[in-house]
Amino acid sequence: MTGLKISPSILAADPTRLGEEIAQIAGEADWVHVDVMDNHFVPNLSFGLPVVRALCATSPLPVDCHLNIDDPDRWAVQYAQAGAGVVTFHAEAARAPVRTMRAVRAAGARAGLALCPATPLEPYEGVLAEADVLLLLTIDPGFGGQSFLDFVLPKIRRAREVIDATGADVLLQVDGGITTETIVACAEIGVDVVVAGSAVFGELDRAHAIRRLRAAAQAGKVAAGVLQETIA
């Protein structure tokens, strides 16, 4: 699929039916987002390496793995080796982010760097060229169903400007509180990938929910003058 990518988060899915849940989004979503949580970096415990390995072996969509964990320098490569298409870890938890991103890429995955809402972008601008994905959280990590934090919008705009100015091949991803309303602001700025949990898996018709998000994003880009209206 082209344009803005949508990566539904299975943190909001039924954990007893993950295969079925992913099958329901396979025709509409671009990636499937898996939040790995260790109950140390964030106050929640979710999926780990065995589950990710099983999902990578069966998912019809690329697995977009977000490590909400301590010591990602030790663990990130193993998620790439498990078959994840994207492995993103937190700058706040990494001791050697450049080395870890290079190791993830060498293992065959896209390497992502994540920043919590209160973490400024500026200290990491110099290493963005080492990343394939920059993930900016618009909620505090740990739990789904939270509301979008508007104060992160200037950071998202700054990230778009930095990426464009440097010409780096980096996908700008946003995660947290994505709805048909908040996706509009993201699309207007020029976000490349959005993570949506409850907005997809909280609906009975997951495929229709993704189409609604995509239509809202399209409208946002049209409003911003990024795209010409193509709908008759």
Contact 206, 21 (CB under 8 A): yes
Catalytic member of 35, 38, 64, 132? 35
HSE (CB half, 13 Å, CA atoms) of 137? 24
Beta-strand runs (E) in the chain: 5-8, 32-37, 63-68, 86-90, 110-115, 133-137, 171-175, 193-196
* Among 139, 142, 89, 147, CA closest to 116: 139
What is the C-alpha to C-alpha distance for residues 94 and 89, in angstroms, rounded to an integer?
A: 8
Residue 45 neighbours by CB under 8 Å, 6+ apart? 37, 38, 39
The reply to whether 175 belongs to the active site is yes
Of 70, 204, 212, 66, the closest CA to residue 139 belongs to 66
Catalytic residue among 30, 64, 132, 175: 175
Which active-site residues does the annotation give? 35, 175
